[in-house]
């Protein structure tokens, strides 16, 4: 019997042990009226226990208030709410607003960093930022120029700031951060510029650098112990990364960390994914290119890696592995096991034991995925845990300058960074997806610091036999590795999902609709068109006993880069401009927070 069938029903949220975590932050995380992290909780479930808005009354939602951010680029992430204060962020220049919910969302303070606009062209796929985090009375912002800033939550005064990278080398940031215990964990962007990427821990009070772990390179730089760090249950061995790169290519190897972080206080491990290897031309970097495209489990105090699992060895398609790791507790063979579920860009949904890194499930979450037949789940096989690649869809099948056609999914993946949600009431994952395929033609490229290091031309289009639809919003049964239900969308669903105790799941569409669906059936219960396309993540909070739902709208991101940056060449935006050209018929630029509630 395949391991997927051994996952018993009865999934629940990962149980946190506050003693090992930041107790003040845990107090806020355990209060469903607030939102202290972009991920809602450390487990990245994006589940709210609020149920005042539910499946029977959500149809009555009305706009309560709106707020213009003053920025016309892609708005990812969501606001935070701590007590009576809401904190709203913007894309570059990364303005932060503190709004008083007791007084008609009055602006209490505004932080507007002075960043060099030369950072904009170095950012891969729009000037997005995935949002703020709260900890110990501070709002933490990681700016586009890699400056990490701690702001006093009451006054907006800068507590400390530290520079995490160098935009002149192609290092930027689009991600949120993870406050854990007395540290804040941050990543880095720049895979399209040949950056050797890393995660870094800074002291939460002072901003002093505590440790840094690279995605590839020597063991000491990666914070990997050759004998104690494991991959699929076996020690990785000495020079596990160096042996999979030719010469010094690891120094420009990518493996960036611009996605989401999760944390298990009980195991005291943090989890995240590393991105694509550089360059996009696979012929130029023979080998598995470890540890790009990898799920990492690290000790947050020391940064030491406990285990790694590489999903797409020697990536040929830009299937970044940075998507969120969702932590749940389920039964396997009748025993409780701590699990990690990850919906990868490569189109496979993975479930692993998050304590050991044991691979339990790897199934396609879009049936059109064709670049690999399956992930080998035979533990006795030499290729156990590896995808079995279809030679027709290899992008180096005949060397450079060969256009491989009909590859599914496209480089932006069956799911990009837009986070999924999990409900313990239904034991289902709710996944925003891209139903998109591509043609991919590599070409030789030379590395120059601070210059694009891509080496491929792409074109994107709807998957075959999808009647022009480029997205689906699905419910995923992690027990059997199957789609429970699927709602087709005209464009990719680039918004993060939110599941609630009211049996409602929310998400947004690229045309600008906020949608609410029944968590059990997927039936649409409510929709409202906001002023611009939605690539932000739906959030909910409670104020004075009343539940609200908030969403940032502002089209952009990779899918909306054509609109956001005014691009018209179909191959621009790494192939996305042509694929999403019709989006301009439905929405336009914007930057607005829309907040909904039920009528009195």
Active site residues: 318
DSSP 290: T
Kindly report the length of the chain. 600
- Buried b / exposed e over 460-488, threshold 16 CB at 10 Å, is bbbbeebeeebbbbbbbbbbebebbbbbe
Annotated binding residue 174: yes
Question: Tokens representing 238?
Answer: 């000495």
Distance CA 332, CA 111 (A): 48
Q: What is the DSSP string of 533-550?
A: ---SB-EEEEETTEEEEE
**Cross-strand bridge partners of residue 152:** 138
Closest CA to 495 of 518, 522, 472, 519: 472
Closest CA to 435 of 451, 458, 413: 413
CA dihedral sign, ordered 509, 101, 47, 302: positive
List the strands of the sheet with 133-135, edge to edge: 133-135, 138-142, 147-152, 158-163
Are 569 and 590 in contact, with CB atoms under 8 Å apart? no
Q: What is the DSSP string of 202-263?
A: EETTT--EEEEEESSSSHHHHT--TTTSEETTEE--TTTTGGGSSTTGGGG-B----S--EE
CA dihedral sign, ordered 545, 549, 552, 558: positive
Annotated binding residue 130: yes
Annotated binding residue 318: yes
Opening angle at CA 199, ends 198 and 202, nearest 5? 135
Annotated binding residue 354: no
How many CB atoms lie under 10 A from the CB of residue 599? 8
Distance CA 283, CA 210 (A): 37
Provide the pairing of β-strand 198-203 with 335-343: unpaired
Distance CA 23, CA 30 (A): 10
Residue 6 in 3-state DSSP? helix
Q: What is the DSSP string of 183-216?
A: EEEE--B-GGGT-B-EEEEEETTT--EEEEEESS
Q: Which residues are annotated as a binding site for pyrroloquinoline quinone?
A: 76, 130, 174
Annotated binding site: 76, 130, 174, 192, 276, 318
Annotated binding site for Ca(2+): 192, 276, 318
């Amino acid at each position: 019997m395949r391991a997927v069938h051994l996952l018993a029903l009865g999934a629940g949220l990962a149980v946190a042990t506050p003693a090992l975590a930041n107790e003040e932050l845990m107090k806020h995380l355990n209060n469903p009226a607030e939102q202290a992290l972009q991920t809602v909780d450390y487990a990245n479930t994006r589940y709210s226990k609020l149920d005042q808005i539910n499946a029977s009354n959500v149809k009555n939602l009305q706009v309560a208030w709106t707020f213009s951010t003053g920025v016309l680029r892609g708005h990812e992430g969501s606001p935070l709410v701590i007590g009576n204060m809401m904190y709203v962020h913007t894309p570059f220049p990364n303005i932060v607003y503190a709004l008083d919910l007791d007084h008609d969302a009055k602006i209490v303070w505004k932080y507007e960093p002075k960043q060099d606009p030369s950072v904009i062209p170095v950012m891969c796929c729009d000037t997005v930022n995935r949002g703020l985090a709260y900890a110990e009375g501070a709002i933490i912002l990681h700016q586009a120029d890699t400056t990490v800033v701690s702001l006093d939550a009451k006054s907006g005064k800068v507590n400390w700031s530290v520079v995490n990278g160098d935009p002149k080398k192609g290092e930027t940031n689009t991600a949120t951060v993870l406050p854990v215990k007395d540290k804040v964990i941050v990543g880095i962007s720049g895979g399209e510029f040949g950056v050797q990427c890393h995660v870094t821990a800074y002291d939460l009070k002072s901003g002093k650098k505590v440790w840094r772990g690279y995605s590839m390179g020597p063991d000491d730089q990666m914070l990997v112990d050759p004998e104690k760090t494991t991959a699929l249950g076996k020690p990785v061995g000495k020079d596990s990364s160096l042996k999979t790169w030719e010469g010094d290519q690891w120094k420009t190897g990518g493996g960036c960390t611009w996605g989401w972080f999760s944390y298990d206080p009980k195991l005291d491990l943090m989890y995240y994914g590393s991105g694509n290897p550089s360059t996009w031309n696979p012929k130029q970097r023979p080998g598995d290119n470890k540890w790009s495209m990898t799920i990492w489990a690290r000790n947050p105090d020391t940064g030491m890696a406990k285990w790694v699992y590489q999903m797409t060895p020697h990536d040929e398609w830009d299937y970044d592995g940075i998507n969120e790791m969702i932590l749940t507790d389920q039964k396997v063979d009748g025993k409780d096991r701590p699990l990690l579920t990850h919906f990868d860009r490569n189109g496979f949904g993975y479930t692993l034991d998050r304590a050991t890194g044991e691979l339990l499930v790897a199934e396609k979450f879009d049936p059109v995925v064709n670049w690999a037949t399956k992930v080998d789940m035979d533990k006795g096989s030499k290729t156990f845990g590896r995808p079995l690649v279809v030679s027709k869809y290899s992008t180096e099948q005949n060397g450079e300058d060969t256009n491989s056609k009909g590859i599914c999914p496209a480089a932006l993946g069956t799911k990009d960074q837009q986070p999924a949600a999990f409900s313990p009431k239904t034991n289902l994952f709710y996944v925003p997806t891209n139903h998109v395929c591509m043609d991919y033609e590599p070409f030789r490229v030379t590395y120059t610091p601070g210059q694009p290091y891509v080496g491929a031309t792409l074109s994107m289009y709807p998957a075959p036999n999808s009647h022009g639809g480029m997205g689906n919003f699905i419910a995923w049964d992690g027990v059997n590795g199957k789609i429970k239900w699927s709602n087709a969308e005209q464009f990719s669903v680039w918004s993060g999902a939110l599941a609630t105790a009211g049996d409602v799941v929310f998400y947004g569409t690229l045309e600008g609709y906020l949608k609410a669906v029944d968590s059990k059936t997927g039936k649409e219960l409510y929709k409202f068109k906001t002023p611009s396309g939605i690539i932000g993540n739906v959030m909910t909070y409670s104020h004075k006993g009343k539940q609200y739902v908030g969403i940032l709208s502002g089209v952009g991101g990779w899918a909306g880069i054509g609109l956001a940056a005014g691009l018209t060449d179909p191959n621009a935006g790494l192939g996305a401009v042509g694929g999403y050209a019709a989006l301009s018929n439905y929405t336009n630029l914007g930057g607005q927070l829309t907040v909904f509630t039920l009528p009195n």
